[in-house]
Chain A
């Protein structure tokens, strides 16, 4: 269940980006998971659903792009809500 620690690391990235942009919240999160990343998309989603409660991502749906033939594990894009 390393997906939980990976999602935790992603939230640290997100918090930094939100702070850098003086954003209020996140509206959408998009990640890329490679076929050989060793990350299960279902478990990743479950971890995200647990972590996002009462955070800046509380209302942000997660989009996962599966990438064949790579070990990509990327935070691709955020959509932020700014004041």
Chain B
């Protein structure tokens, strides 16, 4: 009987659901994370605008980690295999996830992508999300940390314009800082202040994949991530 409006309609039944709409995605993400934890694999969800320099950062990261950590990448894109091809040319184990019209990756797509990647042989998996500062922030993929690439050419106020994305970030990589001399109106301090306004725990590293500036600090940050293990109280918490 309807007890919502008190009309007494015996055919109306209110059902309290109170369930996350993306509960199905969340289950798939937990499944991915369990795989990663079981194999002591660190998983990073790398997000950012198209052209923020995500792929270039990964090329520089692979060079810096060579001989120390085995890096693999799942590269999400609406169309083309270009990013994965670039990464493979740089000696990185990489596979594409072509989303078609979807503006983000979800946990099922990542799970399917893992079937095409020798991920058990890796120490570090980077999921390079579709270039977009809105949609990818909504979906848990099973990653341990979120990293957002923000290039200096995008302007200072992106964190304020896209707060959901930056709220979810554990680290922001400020990319292309070698271009700063050509951008007199862009100030790192202003970007940092804007990040402080939206990030619960502000963390930013300025880098240039082209010159290598800051890459060692980024790699050090990666090394500092505890290797997750099942029942390990010190493991990285899921975001």
Binding site for B on A (CB under 8 A): 1-2, 5-6, 9-10, 12-13, 17, 21, 23, 27-28, 31, 36-39, 71, 73-83
Contact = CB atoms under 8 A, between A and B. Distances in A.
B24 A9 contact: yes
Given A23-B13, A27-B12, A73-B138, A79 B21 contact: no
B19 A13 contact: yes
B202 interface: no
B20 interface: yes
Given A6-B138, A36-B164, A38-B137, A75 B19 contact: yes
Interface string B219-234: 0000000000000000
Contact of A78 (B15, B106, B135): B15
A81 B11 CA distance: 5
- Residue of B11, B17, B134 with most chain A CB atoms under a 10 A cut-off: B17
B16 interface: yes
Given A1-B135, A2-B103, A2-B138, A74 B163 contact: no
Contacts of A77: 14-18
B167 interface: yes
A11 to B, nearest CB: 10
Interface of B: 2, 4, 11-25, 102-104, 106, 134-135, 137-139, 163-165, 167
A38 B12 CA distance: 33
Q: Is the interface of B mostly helix, strand, loop or mixed?
A: mixed
A75 B21 contact: yes
Contacts of B13: 21, 23, 79-82
Contacts of B11: 81-83
B112 to A, nearest CB: 16
A5 B17 contact: no
Contact of B12 (A37, A75, A81): A81
Contacts of A71: 164, 167
B12 A10 contact: no
A78 B104 contact: no
Contacts of A17: 15, 17
Contacts of A76: 16-18
Given A2-B103, A2-B139, A28-B4, 19 more contacts: A2-B134, A2-B138, A6-B22, A6-B138, A13-B19, A13-B21, A17-B15, A21-B13, A38-B134, A38-B164, A38-B165, A73-B20, A77-B16, A78-B15, A79-B12, A79-B14, A82-B11, A82-B13, A83-B11
B21 A80 contact: no
